[in-house]
């Protein structure tokens, strides 16, 4: 018999802050996860304004940054997963980002 984390009530994100090089995610069970932003390259390349423009998705199951086109799940954070983005995908995103700024 297998069970998923959601069957046991995986906590949900309630609030997010990005301070310096660290993403802080407050959870519904009272814990706060602190993760280096360099584990998520799009966040690492984001400006403070872009990093602060987030919204909860899936009633707190994840976080989305519109300006950075980044999604991070609470389940992934709890499991210690980093961004799954390939280097070539990140390069295309960075190139497109630079082109917008020019």
Q: What is the sign of the dihedral through the CA atoms of 6, 8, 9 and 11?
A: negative
Residue among 45, 29, 30, 10 nearest 18 (CA): 45
**Lookup result for tokens 């309630």:** 14
Say if residue 4's pLDDT is above 60: no
8 A C-beta contact, residue 26 and residue 16: yes
Mean pLDDT for 32-51 is 96
DSSP state of 38: G
**Within 10 Å of residue 32's Cβ, how many Cβ atoms?**
11
Q: Which domains does the chain have, with CATH numbers?
A: 5-101 (3.30.2020.40)
pLDDT at 55: 97
Q: What pLDDT, on a 0 to 100 scale, did the predictor assign at position 101?
A: 85
pLDDT band of residue 8 (cuts 50, 70, 90) is low
């Amino acid at each position: 018999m297998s069970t998923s984390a959601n069957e046991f009530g995986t906590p949900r994100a309630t609030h997010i802050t990005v301070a310096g090089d660290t993403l802080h995610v407050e959870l519904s069970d009272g814990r706060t996860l602190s993760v280096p932003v360099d584990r998520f390259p799009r966040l690492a390349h984001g400006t403070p304004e872009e990093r602060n423009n987030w919204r909860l998705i899936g009633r707190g199951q994840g976080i989305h940054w519109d300006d950075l086109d980044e999604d991070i799940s609470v389940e992934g954070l709890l499991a210690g997963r980093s961004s799954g983005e390939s280097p070539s995908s990140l390069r295309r995103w960075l190139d497109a980002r630079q082109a917008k700024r020019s």
